[in-house]
């Protein structure tokens, strides 16, 4: 095993600083092979310096990575292998549903399997680190990056974060034993999901009690699972951009949580301290980030430009630099790069494993487990013997894999048309309009649907209008798509709406014109196959919404995590004036967190609590769930808790547990949850994580709005 302390001694101060900088690979070898995800500035770095940087981003492919590593090892003076990082967010080349959809599965095991396949395809393609999981808690559908997150709930996000980390790195304690294990980098620390007004990169204000209770737990969960890297966020949090925010970077991350792994800035986020107005020269910029223990500066050049002055003036010390560099060398050592800089990369394995049947099968299964059925007036599943029509911009397109698809190729995906054609279904299919057309082709529509009773209308957002830099002020379907839905309905056809979306949409204008709604999200490679299986009942729906679908964009941000006020409008039945509501629209979203139907029908009854809780004691709540249908199914049983008297205001309910339970047709299961005192504790602004004695309500049900409830006391 390499002795990183000895290796450190061989480096000049400048070489140490270069370990702490990261650029696209083309700066090193002149080949334009990296992906650009942000602003490009020209860097004040000479070629020899580029040849000694510690890591690159945006690269993948066994041949390309091998060539770069060879070139670099030949040219760099110190011969320390390069770390190769990339954004492998929901699959490398076999693409899985977007992370928001993975959140909808409420299935940690599925998330782990997806991350595993992603790790395998990445590792054989030469990638060492993925900039994932993204665990920013999101509750504003305007923000384009909600597609990268697993939703609005801290517990769901925390469980998903852990599952992703296990899938990438291997079981905690066993990490990197397998050559396919790669390093996970949790991002964006911290609070990026709460950008003001839903505008990407905007400032974030989160008071301490809320930060600790709701926003920080998913990052912490990833680290508890062994995640080795953290990425800073672009946003200012409570006035200070994250890369210079000592409270979150030093006090919380390094001291309270004792994180000793590598922190990397986001793309030019160190440089943007300057744009933010915090600094106006390289030395000050570098000083702020280095003093916040940001070990790697991504895509800006202030460390290398500012370090000499900082050392000369005694504003940072070489010992401080050594600590950062050792953290980076330790990652390289953990991966075994000093022994084998190529690790698992293999062109043969790429041919064998990338997009292999097993990976494609998991992609299909993932679509089945992530698509949410929001409405079904007994029209689904469809009958294979009945002729149908499929219309809309997504009827026959491969542009469904989703943003942030790494090396995914749209054309390698299965469209709805492909999947139905392969199964010999009798159907007419026509696009009728594009997403942004002025109007649809009415003649073509009439021709396509005239001889059928049921029409699948496949509509949605352009996948490139979701993700980074794609905040929206309007979250409705485009007008032409709404008009199309209304027209099909007005022709007395039954409408199955299939949505391709990267964010919750406002569906109020069309919801009454449709007989079924399937939220497919952006599906990854096997969208058509998974949807075919669901639509024809070869598999059953089990996913639930990980974010509310607002009634109107004006409600944003909106979440089931809603705080009590002195003048509550708890539901939409109360009168409007002088209560905390709108006089012209409901408070409640159109579809709530946790909602999602199945072809099975689940009935809840007999909620029981084992008794009151004494401190340090665990109690249980149980409920009987019956499947009163002839279809086997999986129900996501959800447990929420609410407190009655508190030190700082509390949400009206918080998710404290969920279980996916398979219940066969006409069968019944008793589902039990444990409740412990930590589930009742909460943070106040004095950082106290405590709970008072008194009454609590526990709710167990099928969504955040439909449940049975029972009370207990903490005594
Ligand atoms: C994004 C990050 C991403 C990075 C590197 C940035 O623009 O905010 O999420 O990991 O680019 O590609």
Region 220-227: mean pLDDT is 98
Question: 266 CA to middle of ligand 1, Å?
Answer: 6
Res 570: pLDDT = 60
Res 481: pLDDT = 98
Res 531: pLDDT = 98
Region 154-166: mean pLDDT is 98
Average pLDDT, rounded, for the chain: 96
Q: Which residues line ligand 1 (CB under 6 A)?
A: 37-38, 57, 87, 131, 187, 266-267, 468
Is there a contact between 78 and 52 (Cβ–Cβ < 8 Å)? Answer: yes
Count other C-beta atoms under 10 Å from residue 168's C-beta. Answer: 29
Res 340: pLDDT = 97
* Of 544, 497, 536, residue with least CA distance to 517: 497
Round to whole Å and give the CA distance between 73 and 119: 25
Strand partners, 711: 697
* Of 576, 552, 573, 571, residue with least CA distance to 560: 571
- Among the residue ranges 399-408, 578-587, 604-613, the one predicted with the least confidence is 578-587
* Of 476, 469, 460, residue with least CA distance to 554: 476
- pLDDT above 90 (res 542): yes
Please classify residue 412 by burial: count the beta carbons closer than 10 Å to its beta carbon, then call 0-12 exposed, 13-18 middle and 19+ buried: middle
Res 38: pLDDT = 57
Res 577: pLDDT = 77
- pLDDT above 60 (res 617): yes
Report which ligand 1 atom has the smallest distance to the Cα of 134.
9
Res 288: pLDDT = 98
Pocket test for ligand 1, best of 25, 36, 37, 469 (most atoms within 8 A of CB): 37
Region 258-276: mean pLDDT is 97
Is there a contact between 25 and 299 (Cβ–Cβ < 8 Å)? Answer: no
Q: In the structure, what pLDDT confidence band is assigned to residue 34 with cuts at 50, 70 and 90?
A: low
What angle, 0 to 180 degrees and rounded to 10, lies between the N-to-C axes of helices 108-124 and 154-169?
40
Q: Is 266 a catalytic residue?
A: yes
Res 42: pLDDT = 75
Count other C-beta atoms under 10 Å from residue 667's C-beta. Answer: 14
In angstroms, the Cα distances linking 562 to 116, 158, 347, 569 are 35, 19, 51, 11
Report which ligand 1 atom has the smallest distance to the Cα of 187.
9
Question: 404 CA to middle of ligand 1, Å?
Answer: 10
Which of 87, 136, 266, 483 does the annotation list as catalytic? 266
Round to whole Å and give the CA distance between 674 and 339: 47
Res 129: pLDDT = 98
Region 564-570: mean pLDDT is 82
Q: In the structure, what pLDDT confidence band is assigned to residue 35 with cuts at 50, 70 and 90?
A: low
What is the tens place of the pLDDT at every residue in 445-464? 999 999 999 999 999 999 99
CA angle 334, 336, 337 (to 5 degrees): 115
What is the tens place of the pLDDT at every residue in 639-679? 999 999 999 999 999 999 999 999 999 999 999 999 999 99
Pocket test for ligand 1, best of 87, 185, 230, 403 (most atoms within 8 A of CB): 87
Work out whether the CA dihedral 364, 369, 370, 374 comes out positive or negative.
Answer: positive
Round to whole Å and give the CA distance between 253 and 58: 26
What is the tens place of the pLDDT at every residue in 142-151? 999 999 999 9
What is the tens place of the pLDDT at every residue in 184-202? 999 999 999 999 999 999 9
Number of Cα atoms under 13 Å in the Cβ half of residue 256: 12
The proportion of the chain whose per-residue pLDDT surpasses 70, expressed as a percent, equals 97
Report which ligand 1 atom has the smallest distance to the Cα of 298.
5
What is the tens place of the pLDDT at every residue in 459-504? 999 999 999 999 999 999 999 999 999 999 999 999 999 999 999 9
Higher pLDDT, 570 or 214: 214
Higher pLDDT, 577 or 404: 404
Please classify residue 645 by burial: count the beta carbons closer than 10 Å to its beta carbon, then call 0-12 exposed, 13-18 middle and 19+ buried: exposed
């Amino acid at each position: 095993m390499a002795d990183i302390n000895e290796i450190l001694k061989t480096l000049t101060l400048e070489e140490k600083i270069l370990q702490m900088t990261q650029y696209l690979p083309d700066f090193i070898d002149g080949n334009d092979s990296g992906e650009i995800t942000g602003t490009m500035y020209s860097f004040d770095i000479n070629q020899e310096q580029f040849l000694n940087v510690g890591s690159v981003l945006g690269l993948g492919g066994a041949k390309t990575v091998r060539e770069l590593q060879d070139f670099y090892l030949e040219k760099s003076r110190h011969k320390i292998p390069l770390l190769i990082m990339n954004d492998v967010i929901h699959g490398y080349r076999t693409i899985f549903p977007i992370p928001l959809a993975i959140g909808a599965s409420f299935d940690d095991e599925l998330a782990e399997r997806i991350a595993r396949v992603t790790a395998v395809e990445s590792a054989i393609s030469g990638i060492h680190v993925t900039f994932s999981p993204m665990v920013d808690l999101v509750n504003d559908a305007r923000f384009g990056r909600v597609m990268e997150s697993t939703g609005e709930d801290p517990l769901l996000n925390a469980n998903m974060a852990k599952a992703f980390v296990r899938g990438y790195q291997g079981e905690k304690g066993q990490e990197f034993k397998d050559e396919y294990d790669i390093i996970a980098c949790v991002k964006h620390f911290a609070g990026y999901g709460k950008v003001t007004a839903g505008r990407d990169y905007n400032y974030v204000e989160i008071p301490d009690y809320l930060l600790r209770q709701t926003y920080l737990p998913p990052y912490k969960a990833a680290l508890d699972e062994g995640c080795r890297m953290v990425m800073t966020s672009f946003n200012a949090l409570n006035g200070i951009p994250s890369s210079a925010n000592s409270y979150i970077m030093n006090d919380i991350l390094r001291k309270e949580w004792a994180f000793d792994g590598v922190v990397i800035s986001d793309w030019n986020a160190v440089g943007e301290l300057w744009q933010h107005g915090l600094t106006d020269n390289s030395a000050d910029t570098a000083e702020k980030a280095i003093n916040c223990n940001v070990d790697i500066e991504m895509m800006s050049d202030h460390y290398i430009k500012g370090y000499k002055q900082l050392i000369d003036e005694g504003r940072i010390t070489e010992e401080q630099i050594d600590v950062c560099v050792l953290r980076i060398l330790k990652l390289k050592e953990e991966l075994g790069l000093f022994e084998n800089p190529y690790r698992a990369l293999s062109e043969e394995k790429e041919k064998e494993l990338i997009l292999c049947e097993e990976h494609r099968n998991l992609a299909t299964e993932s679509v089945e487990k992530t698509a949410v059925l929001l409405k079904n007036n007994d029209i689904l599943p469809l009958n294979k013997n009945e002729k149908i029509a499929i219309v809309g911009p997504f009827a026959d397109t491969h542009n469904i894999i989703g943003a942030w698809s790494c090396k995914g190729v749209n054309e390698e995906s299965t469209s709805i048309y492909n999947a139905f054609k392969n199964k010999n279904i009798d159907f007419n299919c026509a696009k009728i309009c594009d997403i942004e057309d002025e109007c649809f082709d009415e003649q073509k529509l009439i021709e396509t649907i005239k001889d059928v009773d049921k029409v699948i209308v496949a509509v949605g957002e352009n996948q490139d209008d979701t993700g980074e830099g794609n905040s929206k002020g309007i979250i409705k379907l485009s007008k032409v798509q709404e008009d199309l839905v209304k027209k099909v309905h007005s022709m007395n056809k039954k409408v199955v709406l299939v949505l391709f979306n990267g964010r919750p949409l406002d569906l109020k204008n069309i919801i009454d014109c449709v007989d079924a709604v399937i939220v497919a999200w952006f599906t990854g490679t096997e969208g058509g196959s998974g949807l075919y299986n669901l639509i024809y009942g070869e598999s059953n729906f089990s996913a639930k919404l990980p974010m509310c679908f607002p009634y109107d964009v004006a409600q944003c941000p909106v979440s089931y995590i809603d705080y009590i006020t002195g003048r509550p409008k708890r539901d939409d039945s109360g009168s409007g004036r002088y209560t905390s509501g709108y006089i012209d629209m409901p408070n409640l979203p159109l579809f709530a967190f946790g909602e999602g139907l199945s072809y099975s029908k689940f009935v809840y009854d007999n909620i029981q609590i084992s008794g009151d809780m004494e401190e340090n004691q665990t109690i249980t709540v149980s409920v009987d769930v019956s499947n009163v249908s002839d279809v086997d199914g999986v129900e996501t049983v959800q447990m929420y808790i609410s407190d009655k008297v508190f030190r700082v205001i509390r949400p009206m309910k918080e998710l404290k547990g969920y279980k996916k339970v398979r219940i066969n047709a006409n069968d019944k299961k008793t589902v039990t949850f444990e409740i412990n005192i930590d589930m009742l504790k909460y943070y106040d602004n004095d950082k106290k994580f405590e709970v008072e004695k008194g009454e609590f309500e526990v709710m167990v049900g099928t969504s955040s709005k439909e449940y049975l409830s029972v009370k207990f006391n903490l005594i």
